[in-house]
Structure 1
Amino acid sequence: MEPLQALQKSVGIVGCGPAGMATAKTLLRKTKDISVDMFDKKELSGGMIRYGVAPDHEDRYKSFIRAFDEFAKTNKDRLGVFHRREIEKEALSEMRRKYSAVVLCTGAQKQKALDIPTPNTPLIWPAAKVVGWYKNQHKESPPLPAASHVAVIGGGNVALDIARMLLKSPKDLVNVSPEVGAALKESAVSKITIFRRAPRPETNQALKELRDLPDTLIAENSRVIKQPPNNRKTLQIETPVKIEKIREESGKIILSVRNTETQTTKDITCDFLIVSTGYELGSPFPLSFSDNHFLHDGFGRVAGEKNLYAAGWCKTGPRGSLPHTLADATQTANTILSDMKQSP
Structure 2
Amino acid sequence: MEFQIIWFILWGLLWAVYFALDGFDFGAGILYPFVAKEETEKKAVIHAIGPVWNGNEVWLITAGGATFAAFPTTYAYMFSYLYTPLLIILFALILRGVAVEFRPKATTETQKKLWDLGIFVGSFIPALLFGVAFGNIFMGLKFDDSGYYGTLFSLLNPYGVIVGLLFLFTFIVHGGLWISLRAPEKLAEKTIIKARRFWYFQTVSAVIFLALTAVFTNLYDNFVKFPLWFLVPALAVFCLFATGFYIFRDRRGKAFISSALFIITLVFSGIIGLYPNLIPSSIDPKYSLTLFNSSSSPYTLKIMTIVVIIFVPIVILYQAWTYKTFMYKITEKDLKEESY
Q: TM-score with structure 1 length normalisation?
A: 0.25
- Which structure has greater strand proportion? 1
- Which structure has greater helix proportion? 2
Larger Rg: 1
RCO greater where, 1 or 2, for CA within 8 Å and sep 6 or more?
Answer: 2
Q: TM-score with structure 2 length normalisation?
A: 0.25
